[in-house]
A and B are shown apart, each in its own frame.
Chain A
Amino acid sequence: MEEIVTYIGGGLADDKNGENSVGFSTSIHSNTFSYAYKFANAHLNGVVSTGFMNGDNDKVFVATKNKALIQVYVHGKEAPIQKIPIPEQLSCLALTHHNMKSIDQGSEHDDTKTELQLPWLLIGGSITGKLYVWEVCSGNLLFNKSVHYQKINKIEFSNNNNFLVTSSDDSRVLVFRVLELISNSPTIKPLHAITDHTLPVTDFLITSGINNDLRLVTASADSTCRVYDLNTSKLQMTLVSLFPVCSIASDPAFRTLYLGLDNGSIRQVNLFEIDSTKKLRFIGEKSRIVTLEDDPELKWSFMAHQQQENSSNTLKITSLDVSFDGTLLVSGDSDGKVLVCDIVTKQSLKSLKPVNGMVTYLKISPTLSKNFNESENILGTKKANNYRKVPQLKRTLADSNDFNNHELSMQIPENDYHYNILNNNHKMDYDFDEYLAQVAAQESNFKASPMNAGKDESPQLQEKLDKVNEAYSELKKIHEELFEEHTKLVNQ
């Protein structure tokens, strides 16, 4: 398995067309340089990637800075394969998938296709605070409304796709029900509006788990991080930092938070601490406000960005992500530098190729391919050159007529039933015991049938046959003798 980090910058101020802006996807473990995305610059969180697990169907969507345009990239092609015009300039993007395995209860075969090759919804947040919801397979615009007063900084779906959370410069965080957003209803209100922060909400994250256990962690320029129950929006804990928090990431098991700070350092906050009885205790258990103390010994701080050469005075950590095993922290700063740090030693292991402008998007994605730069994808099939294009995103809101003529441009997915039907004759490959039982049953049928039984088990019939044979040979002998006599007579 390999882990790939995709990161894209915000571009330089004087490069309005993004000609010098290049984003990259590269391994965080090995030194193989892999994919580049030219002309890719975006606002903070203005990029989404579908990852590296679906072969040719994986795409990167970039909401271009300074233009009302979404550029679509595929891994392996530097130039965008598609440029989709949109109603206005977007500041952030989010994607969600169908999660059809929840219906099929998981596939028993690895190679069955349970996805529709294109994501389900593409959400965009504009610099004016408008929220756009598009259905990717049809391009229909399902929702379009101003929800924030200022620029939307981040949009994210909860793991089960039930909730959509948006944060903005207006210091508010809104939680929407996804079902309501796509229902074509004229009156849609957020489920929760969180207004505890006093300055722009810069980043947030949603934990995974069942619906009742979902938590929302928000980070703000007011130097606080707040933990909420996503279902009730009840505040569970407040972390007070020494500096404004620009970005946030968490350990995959939500044991530790990593706060990217305004001074160029990253602060590690362990959410569980060991008490006197050697048991783990949640830090927000006793007091709901936890103030982070200064860390002069740098026990809980990553200073790698500050220690870099030519780092600017206004250095900020803009993007963070944690590796699959939770041991590496990848961070991007406002100078465009991307570093891979070991979480235990807090030391920088690797510095990746920098981007122009601040790092606006950074995401680690796993892939099964040993060398993802090869011409083969993870399923072992050769890469196709005819990429699956995204339908044009509509500019006007879908109406009832659009729903009546609603068409999805898609591949019909394969499920276990089709897999079994198609491989019926290869049953022995996946269920040899069943195949063998079938063969044994057929064999016993053969042995029991009278035609075959006669050969082995009926001596009477055999005796009769022998007698007939004997009589025949006797008759033949007589016939031959008669024929000989006849020949003699004719000759005479």
Chain B
Amino acid sequence: MSISSIILPGLTDRPTSVARILSTLKTTSLLINSSTVELTLLSKKAINYVQSRDEYLRWTGCHLIKIISVNPIVISNHGADFITSLMKLINIGTVSQLVYQTATNTILSLCLIIKGKQSLTREVLTPNLPGFINTLVKKLDLKDPQLLTNSVSILTILIRNHSTIFRPHATAYESKLMGVMKSKEFRSWEPVARKQIIESFVALSLVNKAASLQWSVVLKSVMEEFQSVFKMIFQTLLQPNEDAESDIINLIELLKLSLHDAESNMHNKSQFSLAPLSIDLNDLKTTGDLFDRIALLTDLIIGFITTPLNDTIVNYPIGKFVNIGELLINVSAQIHGFQKDLLIGDINLKHNLNFTFSKIQLQGIKLLNQLVKVLGKQSLGYFEKFTVFTELVIPMKTISVINPTTNKTVAKKILDVEQIKFHKFDMLVLLEFVGNLLKALDTGNLHDFSFILKLVDMTSLMVEEASYKDVIEKTKKPAADGSNKRTKKSKNSVELSDFIADASTLKIKTDVKLTTQVLQFYSTVLKNIPSLSVTQLTKVQHFVILSAMRKIYTAGNITNDIRQVLENFVVYQNTNEKYNLLPIIMNIMRQSGDDNNQLLSLLLNPRFPISNKREIEHYDKEQDEDLEIDECKIEEAKKPQIDLEELKRELREEVTNEVTEKLTREFEERESKRRKLSERLQTAEIETNPNVWTQQKFQKVEISKDVLPNDKEISSSEQRMVTETVVEVTTETKKTEDHDDENNSDFEIPDIEMDSSDEE
């Protein structure tokens, strides 16, 4: 099988199935095993397609090049031709958007493949890349967001991989990006597209030789923009009280990033600036501009927080980022109150500003959330601040209640149910932030978690099922005189009684995204707060079990999020849990078809860690022997009971005494014989040589306890013990003068046989 037999026949004047051809090339070994001639044929075919006037063939050619250029022979032999033909293609004015996009993507693929290959880079990439970048920058079109984001993502990759080649085009590209970000349409783009553009703008710092300095300089200019917006808000819209005012002013002043001299010089060259913000309070539409400006600046700061800059080490001003978050969260009329000369009786403006401010507050949470995500535990130094911020964002209202003990009216803060339900989707970012904070914190590290309790209460309100029936009843205004008179039926309105009669048709379904996020939050809370109070725990349990049962009822199974929370109920058991949920959870698992849940099975059938295999085998053998012994013991047990230990001890004492007596007896016998012998020898020697005499001294070594065998040995074999018990007897011989060498040796006790023979 070869390219000429499988692929080339399909590449006709108008190939019918490009996807199939590409799949065959990629998933089989055709590209690896083919000859150079075949690869050349295929490459030429691809180039011909690209050079064709037919858009379909051009598109086919681009994809073919993308796939076959993975082969090193193809890229080294035809890489230059590929790039040249593709460059020609993207420079044709009439080329369609799809072909342009495919061709640019293919060029980028070639660039990434060639990167690191020195000669190819020199011959192919260096001459063509500037032209490619130039074309991409020139063709950035604000009117077509899709094309724009595709080009921006390619340019971002080129900035990261070929920053030196990109340098001459940086200014043009930066001004284009600034233009895009300043445009009014930008806010209406998809978040992903906006993120790509902002990240590309941040990554542009890499083009500079001193990337870290450039990064700080651009960040400083963005912070200055933030400073001016905050000044405007706290001078014209909000009126902090005397204590808070100095703190706020201080916080705004702190946003100024102190730069070193070199950075200051650069700062004069490169600046990010936006047009002055003008808000006309008589025109409610302009309050939206305030939010748009803050959202853009927040996105830019998030870009600086999250965009990686290859290996560049930056001075990451975490303190300033937290300050921005703090200021954003402080943009609230409930915390600081409106300016006195503002909103004189204009309820619409008040509502409008309150709505905008609550959105701005959540921008602060969004920023801090990204900070926690990037820094993880490193951000925990600000944990106390973060908890305060969270409490500030949770919608609360003050009500007056009568204290039963003092009978005085006192102010009490409770959750603002209306606001929570109104902003429930915006509040999800708060849940995500707290969830990430708890994850960074990890289990059991928290002892003051009152803000978590409020959040649990808030989430239970967010996921509370609502019905249009309540809304209708709520909006029904009672008659002015309080009587329940029937109003005249309007001919144009539809009677709602049918709907009210069948309440199920009026239910407002809880959004899936909302439920999922809340479940994930509960899962994190259960894992990290082992002593959640009973009220909140019950709320969580209630919601999770109901969600699980509904899911089983509708879909027959449960989602992974529900499963995770259920598992966390069991694994991270709460100290305040009154009733164990295990039976309910097991039933839910069974009904959802997950009754063989590994985690729960291990929990219900606990087992200890498996020992080393060799040890188990060793134990098994020992165990078998032990079992045999055990069987013997059982038989013995039927006989009259004897205390084995007592028996052993007696036996040992008996044996020891016997041995000692025996040995002592033997020793005494030997000594008496020795005396006799020495007397005989002495008399004989005196007779022959009266000057020579020998003195022998015998020393007895007592039987030490160490020499005695242990209990087991005694009980197993008495004979063995006796043979092991040795009496060491050493002799010291003192000699007088004129003794020969033989007399140097220690005297050995003559054998008993010898003695007997002597006697004989």
A411 touching B623 in the complex, CB below 8 Å, given contacts A100-B376, A210-B571, A404-B323:
no
* A407-B66 in contact given A98-B375, A210-B572, A426-B109 (Cβ < 8 Å): no
A209 to B157, CA, bound (A): 41
Interface string of A137-148 (1 = CB under 8 A from B): 100001000000
Cβ of A375 under 8 Å from chain B:
no
Docked-complex contact B318 and A421, CB < 8 angstroms: no
- Given contact pairs A274-B619, A278-B623, A443-B18, A162 touches B444 in the complex (Cβ within 8 A): yes
Asked if B316 and A425 make an inter-chain contact with CB atoms under 8 angstroms apart, the answer reads no
Cβ of A1 within 8 Å of any chain B Cβ, yes or no, is no
Whether the pair B440, A103 counts as a contact (CB closer than 8 A) is: yes
Q: Take A162-B444, A411-B309, A412-B309 as given contacts and tell me if A403 and B381 are in contact as well, using a CB distance cutoff of 8 Å.
A: yes
| Chain B: interface residue total (CB-CB under 8 A) | 84
- Given that A179-B383, A211-B443, A409-B315 are known contacts, is A98 also in contact with B378, CB under 8 Å in the complex? yes
Contacts of A161 in B (CB 8 A): 377, 442
Residue B266 lies at the interface, judged by CB distance under 8 Å to chain A: no
Task: Name the distance in Å between A182's Cβ and chain B's nearest Cβ.
Answer: 5
- Chain A 344-385, CB within 8 Å of chain B: the 1/0 string? 100000000000000000000000000000000000000000
Instruction: Give A272's nearest chain B residue, CB to CB.
Output: B608
**Which A residues from 437 to 451 make CB contacts under 8 A with B?**
439-440, 442-443, 445-446, 451
A442 to B105: give the CA distance in the assembly, Å.
14
Q: Which of A211, A343, A415, A445 contacts B444 (CB 8 A)?
A: A211
Q: CB of B561 within 8 A of chain A?
A: no
Q: Which of A70-107 contact B (CB under 8 A)?
A: 96, 98-100, 102-104
A135 to B379, CA, bound (A): 11
Asked if B401 is at the interface (CB within 8 A of a chain A CB), the reply is no
How many angstroms between the C-alpha atoms of A446 and B66 in the bound complex? 19
B741 nearest CB across to chain A (Å): 37
Binds A, one of B55-63, B86-94, B276-284, B691-699: B55-63
B28: shortest Cβ distance to chain A, in Å?
A: 13
Cβ-defined partner of A388 (8 Å) among B313, B318, B571: B313
Listed by A's residue number, 13 A-B pairs whose Cβ atoms lie within 8 Å are A103-B436, A162-B441, A179-B441, A184-B381, A280-B609, A344-B612, A406-B318, A407-B316, A411-B308, A412-B309, A442-B102, A443-B17, A455-B14
The minimal Cβ–Cβ distance linking A181 to chain B, given in whole angstroms, is 10
B611 within 8 A of A: yes
Query: Which listed residue (B153, B317, B436, B609) contacts A255, Cβ 8 A?
Result: B609
A386, B171: Cα distance in complex, Å:
30
Q: How far is the CB of A26 from chain B (nearest CB, A)?
A: 26
Q: In chain B between 265 and 315, which residues have their CB closer than 8 angstroms to a CB of chain A?
A: 305-309, 311-315
A182–B445 Cα gap in the complex (Å)? 12
Number of residues from A at the complex interface, CB < 8 A? 72
Q: Which of B19, B26, B160 contacts A422, CB < 8 Å?
A: B160
B319 at the binding interface (Cβ < 8 Å) = yes
Q: Assess whether B98 is in contact with A183, with CB atoms less than 8 Å apart.
A: no
Cβ of A116: which chain B residues have Cβ within 8 Å of it? 375, 378
Q: Which residue of B lies closest to A96 (CB)?
A: B377
CB neighbours (8 Å) of B731 from chain A are: none
Given contacts A120-B377, A421-B199, 20 further A-B contacts (CB under 8 A): A98-B375, A116-B375, A160-B443, A178-B380, A179-B383, A179-B441, A183-B383, A184-B381, A279-B608, A280-B608, A282-B608, A326-B612, A404-B319, A406-B317, A406-B322, A407-B319, A418-B307, A425-B154, A426-B109, A452-B56
CB–CB A426/B112 < 8 A: yes
- Is A410 an interface residue, CB under 8 A from the partner? yes
Q: B611 and A272: CB pair below 8 A?
A: yes
Given A135-B381, A425-B112, verify A412-B608 contact (CB < 8 Å). no
Residue B413 at the A interface, CB < 8 A?
no
- Interchain CB contact (< 8 A) of A231 among B55, B98, B444: B444
| Any B CB within 8 A of the CB of A13 | no
Selected contact of B55 from candidates A274, A279, A446, CB within 8 Å: A446
Q: B723 an interface residue at 8 Å Cβ cutoff?
A: no
A408 at the interface (CB under 8 A from B): yes
Instruction: Tell me, yes or no, whether B424 is within 8 Å of chain A by CB.
Output: no
Q: How far is the CA of A171 from the CA of B104 in the complex (A)?
A: 69
Chain B 466-485 per-residue mask, 1 if CB under 8 angstroms from chain A, else 0: 00000000000000000000
Contact in complex: A281, B608 (CB < 8 Å): yes
Residues of A within 8 A of B307 (CB): 412, 418
